[in-house]
Structure 1
Amino acid sequence: MKKTLVAGLLAFGAMVSAQAKDIVDTAVAAGSFKTLVTAVQAAGLVDTLKGPGPFTVFAPTDEAFAKIPKADLDALLKDKAKLTAVLTYHVVPGKVMAKDVKAGKVKTVQGGELTVSTTGGVKVDNANVVKTDIAADNGVIHVIDTVVLPR
């Protein structure tokens, strides 16, 4: 009985640690961020977003990226500097859970400021936050329905 309990606890511990994922792995596993993951790879930001963080990522879905005309998106994916600026504009240092979100300006990793509003739902610039608090080892993802661009 004792051996079985110990083996069960060890198996559970292994299962829990196997489920632990960083921001990138969490986005890949979600399945609705293929374009975002492709963009992160093209910009060379994979290692950063796999790093210790913590990060808060406002992650546009594939549908959000589909709102951008294909020629514009293709050009963005080829312009590493501009792509990096756009992607890092979606990232805020620290782990900010939905319950901690306040209206106002929030400094991004890119250096600009996102405008967060909480009237009639949470918005980040012109994007609606459609899902919150997708936990990762090194931060949290909040899903948005539009790609936001630095001003």
Structure 2
Amino acid sequence: MKEFLLDLITFSTWANGKAVESLKSCPEVPEAGLIRLSHILENNWYVYDIIHEHDLQRWNDDRNYTLAECIDEIPKIEAAYKQLLSGATGSDLNRTVRYTDIRGNNVERRISDLIFHTFDHCTHHRGQIAMIVRQAGGEPARTWFNRWIAETGSRS
């Protein structure tokens, strides 16, 4: 599971970079696409705070990053999650954390499920970004998992 999660994080970093390139391909960066990219990155940090049992109050309001801030955050997220996983054991990844989500629901999740969810959730929003980019006159990113494998030689 740990190796899969590490691959998922590396894939997501690559795909987020491709989404940035696609946003830049537009005559003007579409705000709707930037909002979704910001949401992706905020969600990654939100889950990171859940795993570390930090106060989640700061996530009550959305923060919309600039494109430059998104570019800066992408490698920070990758580094933070890879550091988290570097010393994690199977028992660590199976540990359950309890938290109150932004809707006020009490939730229990395994750490591995939280990590999988946040990076899988990115795929949904990158699809939205691709649609927005096409509508804005840009070139949508092709960010599917098999393309990452083909382009990078990962998981071979």
TM-score normalised by the chain length of structure 2: 0.25
> Which structure is richer in relative contact order (CA contacts within 8 A, separation 6 or more)?
2
More helix by percentage? 2
Rg: which structure is higher?
1
TM-score normalised by the chain length of structure 1: 0.25
